[in-house]
Amino acid sequence: MKRTLILIGCLFWLTACSSLPDDLVSEDHNAEVMDNYQQWVNTSPDSVIDVRMGGVISKVTNLKDKTRIEIVNLPISSSGKPDITQEPQGRFIAYVKGFVEPMTYTKGRLITVVGKSEQPETGKVGEYDYTFPVTDAYGQHLWTIETTTYVENDLMMGGCFRGGFRCGAYGYGPSRTQVIQQVK
């Protein structure tokens, strides 16, 4: 019985950790949402589909009634988080209704959007001509990167003094540091 409760608790915890934020849920709960960048790029430009894409903000331009956000695409997890361990797959444009604060939606910030696909736009990345897939976003979520540093010390066994350094129960030997970055 105790094992069953622990198993149910672990499954609940894992489900809670991978749930999609409310602002990234499709407006049409029955629609399949595309989250694969290459499939989206290869879809007919006349198809209107729901897409959920994420990545790194490259540029923000506030227009009269909406905001244009250029995003460097990264694959996303089932919880919508951009995978910072992957290489960028391309770029896309997300239009968001109204004004967004450029200091909040700053270059380099992680974002995921959900919306309807639109006709692609042509533009430039530097001097290079580029065709951007476009989405009219009805939901967006900003992410942060949390850095955790773990320091592990090897406890030296035995009681001794060496060069003024106490070995034993109160002394420590070499240490290892591990830095982990997680999208939150």
Does residue 1 register a pLDDT over 50?
A: no
Is 4 within a domain? no
Cα(70)–Cα(74) distance, integer angstroms = 13
Is 65 within a domain? yes
Cα four-point dihedral sign 43, 131, 59, 147:
positive
Does residue 104 register a pLDDT over 50?
A: yes
Does residue 82 register a pLDDT over 80?
A: yes
For residues 166 and 84, state if they share a domain.
Answer: no
Cα(35)–Cα(113) distance, integer angstroms = 10
Cα(3)–Cα(23) distance, integer angstroms = 35
DSSP H or E stretch at residue 145:
strand 145-155
| Number of independent structural domains in the chain | 2
For residues 170 and 134, state if they share a domain.
Answer: no
Is 51 within a domain? yes
- Supply the pTM of this predicted model: 0.77
Is 6 within a domain? no
Cβ atoms 76, 85 nearer than 8 A: no
The predicted-structure confidence for 9-44, as pLDDT tens digits, reads as follows 444 444 445 599 999 998 877 678 999 999 999 999
Query: CB-based contacts of 3: which residues, under 8 Å, 6+ apart?
Result: none
Does residue 141 register a pLDDT over 90?
A: yes
Give residue 161's domain range.
147-183
| Segment among 40-54, 56-70, 102-116, 148-162 with least mean pLDDT | 148-162
